Amino acid sequence: MQPGHTRHSTGGLDARMEAADLEERMKNYIRQCVAFHTSPAPGILIGAFMVDYALELLGVSPYEKLYGVCETPKCAPDALQVIAHCTTGNNRLRVIPIGKFAITINAATKEATAEAVRVFVDLKKLKNYPFIDIWYANSPEYVKATMDEMLQQEIFRAGRGILTSERVRVTVSGKRKWKPVTCPCCGDSIPDYLFGDGKCGGCGPMGYYEKISGKQ
């Protein structure tokens, strides 16, 4: 298999969406999310339903300027990027590793706070969907090799049925003004608000690599 190729059958995915009688909009969202994510992982499928639901509750179009927060780094951030166009690169997506499968979306505003919609997987509602329930609980009862297709079918059948929403208020952080500061350790220039303890994060607690050769 070449890098970047997906490990799933598009035909099988489409057939299961047809069987669940999903709306065409939802089918397109799921196809786009799966292609971006490179697999039909359960989390990306659920994430697509979460984003679609949040957009409807907020009464906004996915083509408006939106901001998203995701409470897990797993799968769901990709659904926000694909459907709501909130990305890390455009600075409209925050991923906070709380460990909850939840997202929050708000529209752009000039105010210091914004009304938003938070959508999350409801553990009580999962009890109506046994395959999703044991998968979500990371239970040893879930056997990926034999249950993946049934899990996918159940996710499509459940749709929003495993989700709960709430209205929330979030703090809006505008663009920061900054000045360049030179790190004395590596000599690189970084924004002053990322400078701490006399060095850049890469020379401090955020360093993630060790040099093995000189510059090329």
**pLDDT at res. 3:** 39
What percent of the chain has a predicted confidence (pLDDT) above 90?
83
**pLDDT at res. 215:** 61
Residue 180 is inside which H or E element, if any? strand 180-182
- How far apart CA 94 and CA 87 sit, in angstroms, is 8
Q: Could you say which DSSP state residue 42 is in?
A: H
The pTM of the full predicted model, rounded to 2 decimals, is 0.88
Asked if residues 47 and 79 have their Cβ atoms less than 8 Å apart, the reply is: yes
Nearest to 10 by CA among 38, 41, 31: 31
**pLDDT at res. 176:** 75
Token pair 């004395």 in the structure block, residue: 184
**pLDDT at res. 9:** 58
Q: Which amino acid is at 10?
A: T
The low-confidence residues of the chain, meaning pLDDT below 70, are: 1-10, 174, 214-216
Give the domains, in start order, of the chain with CATH numbers: 10-171 (3.30.1330.130), 176-216 (no CATH)
**pLDDT at res. 214:** 63
Asked if residues 96 and 71 have their Cβ atoms less than 8 Å apart, the reply is: yes
